[in-house]
């Protein structure tokens, strides 16, 4: 497996502001993903963070709202822009290891509350 | 599209009771199947996986068998402990149209074990 860290672990933000969440892995990985888990719900994939190119977004998620960067094979950021209370969720990054094919490992998550 | 259906919770058991959490799936092709666990306030941890029919995944006393004929992957444990209290997610992994593996999650089942 891999050691995955996320910063911040939690934050409380005001409506209309933006928050950038960082995901750091202790080894080079092929794929990195960002998920949202709304209160009491399951996980929904936001996008796949591609190294060296634009992220691939799932239906219902757009780059203007959730810009993603992945400058190298161990780091990615997700920004939640122009936040509203509906953005209050846990945001998780996950990784797929080289040779891991179809198994994803998750970070501890960032718990975001928007007032 | 692919989907995962797992039994609704919450489930409350006494310590040392037998646990079954049902999970069925719908998918084209031959997905890999997973159980993830989310302890209170934490991210998701991979509990076990199975990659082909009749495979049995096991970890920490939990086990699940990939049943292709019934499209099921039920989670079982013979004797639960208070420390098993968590939310359990069943998931499948299949290749997306973009060529990467993507996870589809069930809604999660909250387990509470009382002394």
In tens digits, chain B (115 residues) has pLDDT values of 889 999 888 999 999 999 999 999 999 888 999 999 999 888 899 999 999 999 999 999 999 999 999 999 999 999 999 999 999 999 999 877 667 788 999 999 999 999 9
**Chain centre to alpha carbon of residue B9:** 13
DSSP state of A9: S
- Separation in Å, CA B66 to CA A73, A94, B12, B73, B107: 33, 24, 25, 5, 19
A108–B32 C-beta distance less than 8 A: no
If you average pLDDT over every residue of chain A, what do you get?
A: 92
User: Taking the alpha carbons of B110, B50, B46, A78 in that order, is the dihedral positive or negative?
Assistant: negative
Chain A nearest C-alpha distance from B35 (Å) = 11
Partners of residue A48 in chain B, C-beta under 8 Å = 98, 100
Q: What's the pLDDT score for residue B97? A: 67
**How far does B33 lie from chain A, in Å, by closest CA?**
9
pLDDT at B98: 66
Number of other residues whose CB lies within 10 A of the CB of residue A88 = 17
pLDDT band at A29 (very low <50, low <70, confident <90, very high): confident
Contact A43 B107 (CB under 8 A): no
Report how far residue A47's alpha carbon sits from residue A39's, in angstroms, rounded to the nearest whole number.
19
pLDDT reported for residue A100: 67
A60 CB neighbour count, 10 Å cutoff: 8
CB contact under 8 A, B105 and A31: no
Contact A84, A104 (CB under 8 A): no
- Beta carbons of A31 and B100 less than 8 Å apart: yes
Torsion of CA A82, A84, A90, A95, to 10 degrees: -30
For A91, name the nearest residue in chain B, comparing CA atoms only: B43
């Amino acid at each position: 497996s891999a050691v995955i860290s996320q910063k911040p672990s939690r934050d409380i933000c005001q409506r209309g502001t933006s928050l950038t969440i960082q995901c750091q892995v202790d080894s080079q990985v092929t794929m990195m993903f960002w998920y949202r888990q709304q209160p009491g719900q399951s996980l929904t994939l936001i996008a796949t963070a591609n190294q060296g190119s634009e992220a691939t977004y799932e239906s219902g998620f757009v780059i203007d709202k959730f810009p993603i960067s992945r400058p190298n094979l161990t780091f990615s950021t997700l920004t939640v822009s122009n936040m509203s209370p509906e953005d209050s969720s846990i945001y998780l990054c996950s990784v797929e290891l080289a040779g891991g094919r179809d198994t994803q490992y998750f970070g501890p998550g960032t718990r975001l509350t928007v007032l | 599209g692919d989907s995962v259906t797992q039994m609704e919770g919450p489930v409350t058991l006494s310590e040392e009771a037998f646990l079954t959490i049902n999970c069925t799936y719908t998918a084209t092709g031959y997905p890999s199947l997973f159980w993830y666990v989310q302890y209170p306030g934490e991210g998701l941890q991979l509990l076990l996986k199975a990659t082909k029919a009749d495979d049995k995944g096991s970890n920490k006393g939990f086990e699940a068998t990939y049943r292709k004929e019934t499209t099921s992957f039920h989670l079982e444990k013979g004797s639960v402990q208070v420390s098993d209290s968590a939310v359990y997610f069943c998931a499948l992994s299949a290749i997306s149209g973009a060529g990467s593996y993507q996870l589809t999650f069930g809604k999660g089942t909250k387990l509470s074990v009382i002394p």
